[in-house]
Amino acid sequence: MEKYELVKDIGSGNFGVARLMRNKETKELVAMKYIERGLKIDENVAREIINHRSLRHPNIIRFKRKVVLTPTHLAIVMEYAAGGELFERICAAGKFSEDEARYFFQQLISRVSYCHSMQICHRDLNWRTTYWDGSPAPR
C-alpha cells in the first residue's frame, strides 16, 4: 500500500469504498476497491477476481495484477475510468439524442454479450456500475 497515495474517494456501495490512487513511482492513476474482509466476502471476491481477470473486452475495466490483503480489508487495483459513472453523465446531459443512446446501448450490450459468452453473469449492471474512461464508449 506504500506504493500508492490517496487522491480522493470516488465511490461507495455495498462492497465497500473505491478510491482514486496514484502510483508514487509511475504517477499512474488507478481505482482501488476496498472490501471489508470476512469468510463469505473473501470467497465471493476471490471468484470475482478470477472471473474478471479472464475478461478481455474494450468495454470492461481491467483489474491490475495487484490484490492487496490487510488484516481487515482486501484492496483490488483496477484501471481508472476518468469519465465517471453513466448516472453522472446522464444527469449532466439531461437527455441523450437517439443516436447517442443507441451507441451507448450497443456498447453495453456488447459487454454483456461478451460476459455471457464467457459464462459470466454481471449481477449488478446499473447506471452506477457503468463507467466512462473519457472517450464516448462506456466501460
- Give per-residue pLDDT as tens, 110-136: 999 999 999 998 877 777 778 877 666
Determine the pLDDT at residue 123: 77
Domain total in the chain: 1
Q: Which residues are catalytic?
A: 124
Determine the pLDDT at residue 37: 82
84-85 and 73-79 strand pairing: unpaired
Positions of the chain with pLDDT lower than 50, given as ranges: none
Determine the pLDDT at residue 138: 57
Grid cell at residue 82: 476518468
Domain of residue 66, residue span: 4-132
Report if residue 137 sits inside a domain. Answer: no
Determine the pLDDT at residue 64: 83
Report if residue 57 sits inside a domain. Answer: yes
Determine the pLDDT at residue 43: 76
Strand partners, 79: 30
CATH number at residue 19: 3.30.200.20
Grid cell at residue 126: 446499473
Predicted TM-score (pTM) of the model is 0.79
DSSP structural state of residue 25: T
Q: Which residues are annotated as a binding site?
A: 33
Q: Which residues are annotated as a binding site for ATP?
A: 33
